[in-house]
């Protein structure tokens, strides 16, 4: 199968686009934790937040070199960043790691639950391990991190949690039962948590990205990408910066009266 190998935007391009839309000091004094930020969508979100003044904590699972490189990219854009290794699926490790980070940085103001994996197979061939890994990373990982930051945000009576779901959490997708279930679960988590924390001035929203050029989709052949593009009214798969643009809106005070919502960032794909 032919690999699409579409180039993602450089850090300088992300910084230039984001700062042409949003004020450069939008997140001055804020601390943002982005899970799964060493690559793809998490990388773009981190660079965007860093460009706009947030102190960014770049979380990753195993790829230290990639995470360090994102930290360097943010610093090159005059941002402040550091990285933190932990597996979002490990409840105790997440609680311990975030406790240390809160102490070090004076709390977490913005959490982006972005870390995710996709293990696809026909349902009748689906392995239990693959089901567990997908649900543990995508859904339990979002619970773990939200659970770890919630008390600190409640004490501050301020906070933003943005959960990265997927259009397949809205529509389903053959061959992606575990992934779709995990992403639909993220939407349920978003709504229930939003109801619990709304009175504390904490907004929890989800984004449902369509198809983006990242490592996760890099094995799709150009024939598959062409078929996907035919279903997208905007006629192209997205660059991760499109998700970053929406994250910035939801992480800022522009969305202070919006909570429990799921916004599709999909070029119009889920309209029909």
Binding site for ligand NAP (CB under 6 A): 35-42, 59-63, 66, 87-89, 114-117, 137, 141, 164, 166, 209, 211-212, 214-217
Q: What are phi and psi of 83, to 5 degrees?
A: -120, 160
Instruction: Output 172 or 200, the one with its CB closest to ligand NAP.
Output: 172
- Minimum distance, C-beta of residue 250 to ligand NAP, in the bound complex (Å): 14
Say how many C-beta atoms besides its own lie within 10 A of residue 35's C-beta.
28
Active site residue 22: no
Instruction: Output 214 or 262, the one with its CB closest to ligand NAP.
Output: 214
- Minimum distance, C-beta of residue 20 to ligand NAP, in the bound complex (Å): 23
- Minimum distance, C-beta of residue 87 to ligand NAP, in the bound complex (Å): 4
Length of the chain: 272
Q: Given 22, 60, 179, 211, which residue is catalytic?
A: 179
Say how many C-beta atoms besides its own lie within 10 A of residue 60's C-beta.
26
- Minimum distance, C-beta of residue 39 to ligand NAP, in the bound complex (Å): 4
Say whether 8 sits in a helix, a strand or coil.
Answer: coil
Kindly state the tokens that stand for 19: 């700062």
Separation between Cα atoms, residue 68 and residue 43, nearest integer Å: 11
- Minimum distance, C-beta of residue 1 to ligand NAP, in the bound complex (Å): 17
Instruction: Output 80 or 216, the one with its CB closest to ligand NAP.
Output: 216
| Contacting residues for 63 by C-beta, under 8 A, at least 6 apart | 38, 39
Say how many C-beta atoms besides its own lie within 10 A of residue 241's C-beta.
19
Instruction: Output 152 or 209, the one with its CB closest to ligand NAP.
Output: 209
Instruction: Output 27 or 60, the one with its CB closest to ligand NAP.
Output: 60
Instruction: Output 24 or 85, the one with its CB closest to ligand NAP.
Output: 85
| Contacting residues for 271 by C-beta, under 8 A, at least 6 apart | 233
| Run of H or E residues at 184 | helix 177-197
Strands (E) in 114-171, as ranges, are: 159-164
Give yes or no for a contact between 204 and 190, defined as CB atoms under 8 angstroms apart. yes
Q: Is the dihedral of CA 6, 76, 245, 120 positive or negative?
A: positive
- Minimum distance, C-beta of residue 70 to ligand NAP, in the bound complex (Å): 9
| Contacting residues for 124 by C-beta, under 8 A, at least 6 apart | none
Separation between Cα atoms, residue 180 and residue 200, nearest integer Å: 30
Q: Which residues are catalytic?
A: 179
């Amino acid at each position: 199968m032919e690999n699409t190998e579409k180039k993602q935007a450089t850090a300088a391009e992300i910084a230039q686009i984001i700062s042409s839309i949003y004020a450069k000091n939008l997140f001055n004094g804020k601390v943002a934790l982005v899970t799964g930020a060493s690559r793809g969508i998490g990388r773009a979100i981190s660079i965007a937040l860093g460009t706009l003044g947030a102190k960014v904590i770049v979380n990753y699972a195993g790829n230290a070199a990639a995470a360090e490189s994102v930290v360097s990219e943010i610093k090159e854009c005059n941002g402040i960043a550091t990285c933190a290794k932990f597996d979002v699926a490990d409840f105790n490790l997440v609680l311990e790691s975030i406790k240390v980070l809160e102490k070090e940085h004076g709390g977490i103001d913005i959490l982006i639950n972005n870390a995710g994996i996709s293990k696809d197979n026909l349902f009748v061939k689906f392995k239990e391990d693959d089901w567990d890994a997908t649900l543990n990373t995508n859904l339990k990982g979002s619970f773990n991190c939200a659970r770890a930051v919630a008390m600190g945000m409640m004490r501050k009576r301020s906070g933003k949690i943005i959960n990265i779901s997927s259009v397949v959490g809205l529509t389903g997708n053959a061959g992606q039962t575990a992934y779709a279930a995990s992403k639909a679960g993220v939407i349920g988590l978003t709504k229930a948590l939003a109801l619990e924390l709304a009175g504390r001035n904490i907004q929890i929203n989800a984004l449902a990205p369509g198809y983006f050029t990242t490592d996760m989709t890099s094995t799709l052949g150009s024939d598959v990408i062409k078929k996907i593009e035919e279903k997208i009214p905007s006629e192209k798969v997205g660059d991760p910066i499109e998700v970053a643009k929406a994250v910035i809106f939801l992480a800022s005070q522009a969305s202070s009266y919006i909570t429990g919502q799921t916004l599709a960032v999909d070029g119009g794909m889920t309209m029909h």
